[in-house]
Structure 1
Amino acid sequence: MQADLSRRHGVHWTPGVAPAAVVMISLNEAHNMEAVLANLKGWAQEVFLVDSYSADETVDIALRHGVHVVQRRFRGFGDQWNFALRELPITAPWTMKLDPDERLSDALKRNLVDAMRRGGADGFTIQRRLWFMGRPLPVRQEILRVWKTGACRFSDVLVNEHPLVEGSVEPVAGELEHHDSPDLEHWLHKQNKYTTAEALAAVRGDALSAQPRLLGSALQRRMWLKRHFSRIPFRYALVFLYYLIVAGIWRAGRIGLIWARLRADVYRFRQYKIYEMQMTGRTPGRAVFVPGQPDVRVPQFD
């Protein structure tokens, strides 16, 4: 069916130099699609998009570029990613998770191709640099984003999912730019949705992405902090100071100060929502991620 769609739209994705399938999920990402697909042209062997019924031009743009698009109702980030890895007809030997608001630097593209061709590892971590208000921040995160096709599954959580790769993992040099939102209005709207989803998962007692352990892996330490965050004195001030001083966000000037304050507020909003749900006994009555209508041009999955 996808081949028929490609012929109908008169465009096919031209395989690039990297032996990798890039997979994205989306809901109303039209503001990012042109730029992210331009960034992948000539590099990715194949590109897939699992769309959750976008109401904007996300699907139109993807189809114009020859992307393999399917649609499926959103139940949670972990569930959607596991569907993608399980059901998409990926043929490339490597798979990369990419968000529509991310861009690969030229150095990262070259180094990933070299690492894939060299082999020796089952997955690769990369450095992601955050951008805010159109400026790069001095904040970098080491994240696992590339693995041998079939060697990964995702933690089955509502939000803040993590890839779990079987085998060895090595770092690859280069930068992945994270252009979080086009403006502050969009950023605040997105954080409002995410904090509601996180609060809902906490109140329901959903499992975390990994076993919380203070002396465990980096992911396990993050889960330990997440579980015990509400018991830490002066926690919001500590979050602000951590980003401002330890993470070095002060080097970004006023924009960095604004970002650090807002990140602390995100933690505060999540805790307030947890408290509200526990006190009232009510959880959000409508879906956190509100979809549009199915697009008849692309395959549909339940």
Structure 2
Amino acid sequence: MQDITVIILTFNEEKHIERCLKSLLTFTDKIFIVDSGSTDKTVELAESLGAKVTQNQWVNYATQFNHGIKNNPYQTKWLMRMDADEYVLPELSEEINQSLHNTPAEISGMYIKRRVMFFDKWIRHGSYYPMWLLRIWRNGQGICEESWMDEHIKLFEGKTIQMKYDLVDHNLNNLTWWTQKHNLYAIREVIDLLNIKYNFRDFEAVEPKLFGTQEQRKRYLKVKYASVPLFTRPVFYFFYRYIFRLGFLDGKQGLMWHFLQGFWYRFLVDAKIYEVYHRVGRDKQAIKDFFKTEYGKDLEK
């Protein structure tokens, strides 16, 4: 077993948790789950496979994950971030087993490619693969940035390397669940985009940088995206992904994925931003009051 703790956030993940944990147990027996009140068999299944589970009230992803880092019961050299609907390929597990204990001291983080599956189809085009994510880092040298959406791990120091093999994101829930979840995501995305303009609060964030790491580049592009007029940017983004970046090569599943995730979801975000402006105008305090009243979200926390 490697000297690494895997931290997972859960809420009603009984469809996924066994698959996820069994893929991790090939290289570590130190799995720490922060659950936010699951009512299904998530906790029971996780504990049966040896995971330690704690309960914590949900605020947002970053707050929950940083709670996991702070309260990790294992004093391991390395930490790893996983979602419950993800799993590690056997090749990646073997790579971790072979390389983790030999990693030079100046390396503080490891990037892993995420392979997204949609209706059992690997989404390989539309700029969706390879998507490099910082998923392994030295304990004490990184935190989850406290943005409302697209939270990344921010390293304090050190260099990074890229792993050769993939982890897989394959959610088994139905399309109704997916659209409902993205409707909730849209609220967080609205807050994140509005925060770029209004700076509701300062937080430890990844530096926007076009020619930096993938998360720095994504943060840079998101800042630029936030300045593009409402309702035009989802159209441009969809055509960029589906046509220019060859998303159409992913077949019917690709059409659904790139349209729903690349156009519908982002159009919904713009519609919700329009609703904010329509309801309360563009005054910063009025916008903060709106989210506190309508969604119970304090934008200064």
Smaller-chain TM-score bracket? 0.7 to 0.9
Report the CA distance between 1:215 and its aligned residue.
5.4
Q: Contact conserved, 2:17 with 2:42, CA < 8 A, in 1?
A: yes
Match of 1:182 in 2: 173
SS for the counterpart of 1:285 is: helix
What code does the residue aligned with 1:126 have? I
Inter-partner Cα distance in structure 2 for 1:160 and 1:188 = 18
Q: 1:225 aligns with which of 216, 221, 227?
A: 221
Inter-partner Cα distance in structure 1 for 2:269 and 2:75 = 40
What code does the residue aligned with 1:232 have? V
Match of 1:285 in 2: 294
Q: 2:115 aligns with which of 102, 105, 129?
A: 129
Q: Contact conserved, 1:53 with 1:71, CA < 8 A, in 2?
A: yes
Inter-partner Cα distance in structure 1 for 2:4 and 2:83 = 15
Inter-partner Cα distance in structure 2 for 1:190 and 1:221 = 26
Query: Are residues 33 and 245 of structure 1, via their aligned partners in 2, closer, same or farther at CA, if it must alter by over 3 Å?
Result: same
Report the CA distance between 1:51 and its aligned residue.
0.6
Match of 1:197 in 2: 188
Q: 2:78 aligns with which of 76, 80, 94?
A: 94
Higher relative contact order (CA 8 A, sep 6+): 1
Q: TM-score, normalised by structure 2?
A: 0.83
Q: TM-score, normalised by structure 1?
A: 0.82
- Tell which deviates more after alignment, 110-119 or 213-222: 213-222
Describe how 1:1-302 pairs up with structure 2 within 5 A: 17-120=1-104, 121-138=107-124, 139-140=128-129, 141-165=131-155, 166-203=157-194, 205-206=199-200, 207=202, 209-214=205-210, 217-232=213-228, 234-263=232-261, 264-281=263-280, 282-283=290-291, 285-286=294-295
What code does the residue aligned with 2:29 have? Q
Q: Deviations over 1:151-171 (max 9, x none)?
A: 211111223211012211000
Q: Contact conserved, 2:133 with 2:215, CA < 8 A, in 1?
A: no
What code does the residue aligned with 1:270 have? V
The share of aligned pairs that are identical, in percent, is 25
Aligned residues: 272
Report the CA distance between 1:213 and its aligned residue.
4.3
Inter-partner Cα distance in structure 2 for 1:245 and 1:62 = 42
Q: Deviations over 1:220-249 (max 9, x none)?
A: 332233233244364222211222244433
Q: Deviations over 1:87-106 (max 9, x none)?
A: 11122222110000111111
Query: Are residues 20 and 245 of structure 1, via their aligned partners in 2, closer, same or farther at CA, if it must alter by over 3 Å?
Result: farther
RMSD after superposition:
2.2
SS for the counterpart of 2:67 is: helix
Q: Deviations over 1:120-166 (max 9, x none)?
A: 12111011111001221113211100012222111112232110122
Q: Contact conserved, 1:50 with 1:69, CA < 8 A, in 2?
A: yes
Q: Contact conserved, 1:79 with 1:157, CA < 8 A, in 2?
A: no
What code does the residue aligned with 2:151 have? E
Inter-partner Cα distance in structure 1 for 2:223 and 2:172 = 28
Structure 2 gaps, min length 5? 281-289
Match of 1:10 in 2: none
SS for the counterpart of 2:74 is: coil
Match of 2:283 in 1: none
Q: Contact conserved, 1:75 with 1:158, CA < 8 A, in 2?
A: no
Report the CA distance between 1:181 and its aligned residue.
4.5
SS for the counterpart of 2:29 is: strand
